[in-house]
Amino acid sequence: MTSRRKLADLREEYAKASLNVHDVAADPIEQFKSWFEDAREAELGEPNAMVVATVDGEGRPSARVLLLKGVDERGFTFFTNYESRKGGDLDDNPHVAMVFHWMGLERQVRIEGSAARLEHDESAAYFAQRPRGSQLGAWASPQSRMIGSRDVLEERLSEIEQRFGDRTIPCPGHWGGYLVRPDRVEFWQGRPNRLHDRIVYERTADDSWTTSRLAP
């Protein structure tokens, strides 16, 4: 019987691709879109899953996995309950960090920037596209707050279902999107011997971008 490998012995050798500063797009959003399409074409599970880290007013960090729901020339968009822990953190401190990890391609993307709430009309337009069950859940869940049991959620959901019946469910005022405007974006490609390729974009004062190579 094969013994279990020790945690310290768990490792993979990365050798699928390389990354050169002369080969990346001039704009990190365009480079991200290219890598994201690679992840989709590779049929990786939930390629839009990302870790989002926030910091509260006392400097304590918090991180969780969310789903990216939009990317355009402005930046990156996700949606949540504004009264959740992350929402409270962002009220205190708009700075945010995000990480995409596409292990199947041996790639990571790290994003740092500032988050701001989307206009309500933009959030409402996305909310209208969500499955009805997700719409009801946004109304029913007091996200990040203590509850006594699962029954509390089920009861709240039942109340919300009865309130709206067959009518259109509006976007709650406590729910909506954030746009993260990046000022630093790093693309990481795994390489042999842990000598990984790291290319970082940094926003300049005139809103252009510089690119540099980082040591692994």
C-alpha–C-alpha distance, residues 185 and 203, integer Å: 9
Q: Are 192 and 144 in contact (CB under 8 A)?
A: no
Least Cα distance to 29 among 206, 188, 183 occurs for: 183
Q: Are 51 and 98 in contact (CB under 8 A)?
A: yes
Q: What angle do CA 139, 142, 146 make, to 5 degrees?
A: 160
Per the structure block, which two tokens stand in for 88? 């409270």
Q: What residues act catalytically?
A: 194
- List C-alpha distances in Å: 161 to 124, 127, 167, 175: 19, 17, 10, 18
Q: Are 95 and 55 in contact (CB under 8 A)?
A: yes
Sign of CA dihedral 35, 36, 42, 44: positive
Backbone angles phi, psi at 109, to 5 degrees: -130, 125
Q: Are 76 and 179 in contact (CB under 8 A)?
A: yes
Map tokens 């996200």 to a residue: 143
C-alpha–C-alpha distance, residues 216 and 197, integer Å: 7
